[in-house]
Structure 1
Amino acid sequence: MKLKAALIQMKVVEGKEENLRTAERMLHQAASEGARLLVLPEMFNVPYDNSFFPEYAEEYPGKTTEFLRSKAMELDVYIAGGSIPEREGDRIYNTSYIFSPQGELIGKHRKAHLFDIDVKGGITFKESDVLSPGQESTLFDVDGIKVGLIICYDIRFPEFTRKLALGGAQVVLVPAAFNMITGPAHWHLSARARALDNQVYMLMCSQSRNMESSYTAYGHSLAAGPWGDLISELETDEGVLHVAIDTDRIEKVRNELPLLKHRREDLY
């Protein structure tokens, strides 16, 4: 089976309405160019900063999720809505919503691993000051192809992607916002390693680089293939990256190099 996906690398600014207008413009562009699965970046409706998350947070259904649902129906596409701050009771989650062309919510992923780091001389960030972690992994179907979704820091925990692969995932979406310290060091490496280890397509969707933001995203949205190869990538500006998914290639690689079959469950 084949699937055309598009990664939307958009600039995120202060102002939810402006971010939704940008997303709308780029969703329309991606759909008009033939993409069936459209992917937005992490926190696409809000600047990536703890100070903004409570203000922008929405309960479900809310303004942003209704926007995503209506666009999926209007454009007759699947939309993986990157992520937004989701409020439930007294908690806020970093949550991705996935809608079908019929406007159905077919998947929802709350970021399971919170980005709490302190790189001396580099960057300090603690999502857990504001956000709560999700408790589930996420799989859904897109035109008969099994797709998994994790969010940013989730990719650093190999067992999480492996669980998706063992659950049947052929494609794993990663809306993300790596920064200018972790991005150059680990962005490409993480994508290719998870793709190779699990023999899946890894689609990494970042915000574009905004040097005026308090948190500067790395950009470089990319696709890595089941051989661990880098298929294509954007640079740092806004853009749409189209990716051709071919499940026959996954089957070919898994037959030639049967890593998943060779796992020693008696040892580990």
Structure 2
Amino acid sequence: MQRVKGNMAKFRLALIQLRVSAAKTENLNRACDLVKSAAGQGAKLVVLPECFNSPYGTKYFPEYAEKIPGESTQKLSEIAKECGIYLIGGSIPEEDAGKLYNTCPVFGPDGTMLAKHRKIHLFDINVPGKIQFQESETLSPGDRFSVFDTPYCKIGLGICYDIRFAELAQIYTQKGCQLLVYPGAFNLTTGPAHWELLQRGRAVDNQVYVATASPARDEKASYIAWGHSTVVNPWGEVIAKAAMEETVIYADIDLKKLAEVRQQIPILSQKRSDLYAVEVKTV
């Protein structure tokens, strides 16, 4: 069983379900105000939603894209340092060398950027009569895993559609992550069907905490987010969940609980390389 230092075994996580408008400066200022509020409530790690500084949509990505470092990441760095927290900056449209990415920057308590996750799996779906969306019309995919350390635990990052790929969560778990964070913006079709299901699946499969931060729902937007930012524990229980409106939710991440789950049901320690190495024969 993995041992955890007593004073670092539990920490408060805050998810900000931000109401996103078409005004970037307004989004940034509102996000920073809510980060400050969350820190005031004892949060040591604060998470913003996917595409928090701009409307979500392929027509908006080129218009709102910026370089990193840039205006948005500078503000996030400053507020992380001011509050002395770890800040997962949801995601922003990033421009780099003529390409656009859906990118999540992470900052430490001193304002240093600790990680930069570019969404690996682009959201290209077609559910006839309900929703069609193609991020690949304007975005390029990332090609790297993103893990960063805190005094509490190691954290793995994904963005929205990345959560559908179980292998990514498995790799992060193998790398020692105990918390997986996915800023995301599921919609009114995939949200009710799969949002919570996927989170609970990733948590139970890997015996980790899973947290997702969504934008608040805006019925007037061209893309309507599902909302329902959520935290799931390693037993698969939902321990915090928002509704649809702008809000901040909190969860105490208890690493002793995680260690107990892994001791009680030791799936991660059972290496079945003998099974998976069996030659597959076709008839």
- Highest Rg: 1 or 2? 2
Q: Alignment partner of 1:196: what SS?
A: helix
Residue 226 (structure 2) pairs with residue 234 (structure 1): no
1:187 alignment counterpart:
195
Which residue identity does 1:198 align to in structure 2? N
CA distance in 2, matches of 1:251, 1:225: 12
- Quote how far apart the aligned CAs of 1:264 are: 1.6
Query: Residues 11 and 152 of structure 2 are in contact (CA less than 8 Å); yes or no, is this contact kept in structure 1?
Result: no
1:36 to 24, 41, 44: 44
Residue 88 (structure 2) pairs with residue 80 (structure 1): yes
2:139 alignment counterpart:
131
2:157 alignment counterpart:
149
Provide structure 1 residue ranges, at least 5 long, that are not aligned to the other structure. none
State the Cα deviation string for residues 143-182 of structure 1 (Å, max 9, x = none): 2411111000000010001100110000011100000000
1:6 alignment counterpart:
14
- TM-score, reference length from structure 2: 0.93
CA distance in 2, matches of 1:233, 1:263: 34
CA distance in 2, matches of 1:144, 1:201: 13
Residue 78 (structure 2) pairs with residue 70 (structure 1): yes
In the alignment of these two chains, the number of paired residues is 268
2:279 alignment counterpart:
none
**What is the percent sequence identity of the aligned residues?**
47
Which residue identity does 1:203 align to in structure 2? A
Q: Alignment partner of 1:254: what SS?
A: helix
CA distance in 2, matches of 1:159, 1:143: 26
Residue 221 (structure 2) pairs with residue 213 (structure 1): yes
1:255 alignment counterpart:
263
Q: Alignment partner of 1:69: what SS?
A: helix
CA distance in 2, matches of 1:109, 1:220: 22
Which residue identity does 1:10 align to in structure 2? L
- Quote how far apart the aligned CAs of 1:123 are: 0.3
Residue 236 (structure 2) pairs with residue 199 (structure 1): no
CA distance in 1, matches of 2:158, 2:273: 24
- Quote how far apart the aligned CAs of 1:262 are: 2.2
- Quote how far apart the aligned CAs of 1:28 are: 1.3
Give RMSD over aligned pairs: 0.8
Q: Alignment partner of 1:148: what SS?
A: strand
CA distance in 2, matches of 1:73, 1:150: 23
Q: Alignment partner of 2:273: what SS?
A: coil
CA distance in 2, matches of 1:214, 1:170: 36
2:24 alignment counterpart:
16
